Structure 1
Amino acid sequence: MNKINIVLADDELLFLQGLKAILGNEEHINILFDAKDGDHLIQQLRDAKTLPEIVVTDLKMPGLNGVEVTKIIHKEFPNIKVIALTSYFSKPFILNMISIGAVAYLAKNSTPALMIKTIEEVSKKGFHYDEQVMKYVHESITNPKDKKTKSTFDANYFTKREIEVLELICKQHTTADIGEKLFISPRTVEGHRNNLLLKTEAKNVAGLVIYALKNKMVSIENDSL
């Protein structure tokens, strides 16, 4: 069996070292190099004398995240196959990654055997989707809305206006206040708020605030309420 040249990218050092230890024991898998984040990965790919067949990348990384990394790889290195590795095993994330070029999707709690099998299948067939991923793919074919599904790691997931509304919500402004500040009607503000609830899957405004702070989407330090 020919060796499969791969590259790993993950900002969690212990997890990355674990991956290297597991995959490094496989005679038919060769790790060319690894990266601590998306920017590091892209720079190394651009400088590499030998390009990998497969890149296994985490989604949540500082700087360039896995979604933006996949877009760049798909554009600049079309022959490299991307396997998304993440804790976010939900429909929006999966469909988004597939739509921008990922050929496989692995949960971070997958077994080493499943990871090795996925790498082998991607090398052999060009892609590998398990039963759950295939279910989402089939649903996306029959549901037009799913074809436009994005994840929160996609730079275009939230509109500029939604981010503005979210920031003001986090600063505890009322619907009327937000409308006045952004020069839009209260009804329009409510529309943006409802879109935010749907996209973040938050149950209420408090959930929106927690989501925004957890994902470092807004800054509320220097604001006078």
Structure 2
Amino acid sequence: MKNTIKIIVADDEELFRSGVSFILQREKNIEVIFEASNGIELINYLKNNNNYPDIILMDLKMPLLNGVEATKLIHKEFPIVKIIALTSYNTKSFIANMINVGASSYLVKNATPKEMIDTINEVAEKGFYYSDEVLKVIEDDIISNDIISKSTFDVDYLTKRESEVLQLMCEQFSTHEIGEKLFISSRTVEGHRNNLIIKTESKNIAGLVVFAIQNKLIKLDYFH
């Protein structure tokens, strides 16, 4: 994980936005580099600045360009940027929609500051963070999966080591932890991870995890 996690907070409620920024700025490893009050401001910042964030905290209900549409654009044009969706709602349909548009995690607005900071650190380190509830939604096949149809993907296309790495990734172990468990270097783990993304034609780690669960490439025992 990087020493400093660069964050943008995008929310149209100034008091909430300022409160979140204040909490985050107190963390030694987090820097808030920009605040946006709507999706247009956010997209303009990304297009006109080279100082990209690692993570955007994205409110889904904003004027001019809402968070869902902004997430779609960012996922396509700035795929390296991870998005944590902010919402007042915590329903299965919201979770499914959030993952479909490319978010790496989500936070309900009544979450505690600790939950917010923990989620940011998890996403920065692992590329995604899905709670048990989100994993259950994925397992239930609510997420649409248009990357590759299940019938055309050959599980044997993955090597034994790639399957082991994939299983541990879906169990939300970090690169370093996976390396320790499999007695391989972090760089080797990253190599396997990149191969998995290429083989499954996933856009990022979060997409890879969704693909793996829905195509039953991993054991699901750890959900229960």
Distance 2:42 2:89 in 1: 21
Alpha-carbon contact 2:137-2:143 (below 8 Å) kept:
no
- Give me the TM-score of the superposition, normalised by structure 1: 0.62
Q: For residue 19 of structure 2, what is the aligned residue in structure 1?
A: 18
Is structure 2 residue 114 aligned with structure 1 residue 118? Answer: no
Moved over 3 A (4+): none
Alignment of 1:143-162 (within 5 A): 146-148=142-144
Offset of residue 134 of structure 1 = 1.4
Q: Which amino acid aligns with 2:5?
A: I
Kindly provide the CA deviation profile for residues 54-94 of structure 1, in whole angstroms up to 9, marking residues without a partner as x. 11110011111111010000011010001001102111111
Is structure 2 residue 2 aligned with structure 1 residue 7? Answer: no
Give SS of 1:61's match: coil
- Give me the TM-score of the superposition, normalised by structure 2: 0.62
Give SS of 1:89's match: coil
Give SS of 2:79's match: coil
Give SS of 1:105's match: strand
Q: Which amino acid aligns with 1:82?
A: I
Q: For residue 97 of structure 1, what is the aligned residue in structure 2?
A: 98
Alpha-carbon contact 2:122-2:129 (below 8 Å) kept:
yes
Offset of residue 147 of structure 1 = 3.3
Distance 1:96 1:71 in 2: 11
Give SS of 2:114's match: helix
Distance 2:136 2:112 in 1: 21
Is structure 2 residue 61 aligned with structure 1 residue 60? Answer: yes
Alpha-carbon contact 2:9-2:35 (below 8 Å) kept:
yes
Structure exhibiting the larger radius of gyration computed from Cα positions: 1
Kindly provide the CA deviation profile for residues 163-193 of structure 1, in whole angstroms up to 9, marking residues without a partner as x. xxxxxxxxxxxxxxxxxxxxxxxxxxxxxxx
Offset of residue 13 of structure 1 = 0.6
Structure 1's unaligned 5+ residue stretches are 141-145, 150-225
Q: Which amino acid aligns with 2:108?
A: A
Is structure 2 residue 71 aligned with structure 1 residue 75? Answer: no
Give SS of 1:147's match: coil
Alignment of 1:135-150 (within 5 A): 135-140=136-141, 146-148=142-144
Alpha-carbon contact 2:75-2:102 (below 8 Å) kept:
yes
Is structure 2 residue 143 aligned with structure 1 residue 133? Answer: no
Cα RMSD after superposing both structures:
1.3
Kindly provide the CA deviation profile for residues 84-122 of structure 1, in whole angstroms up to 9, marking residues without a partner as x. 011021111111110121000110000000000000000
Distance 2:29 2:144 in 1: 37
Offset of residue 45 of structure 1 = 1.0
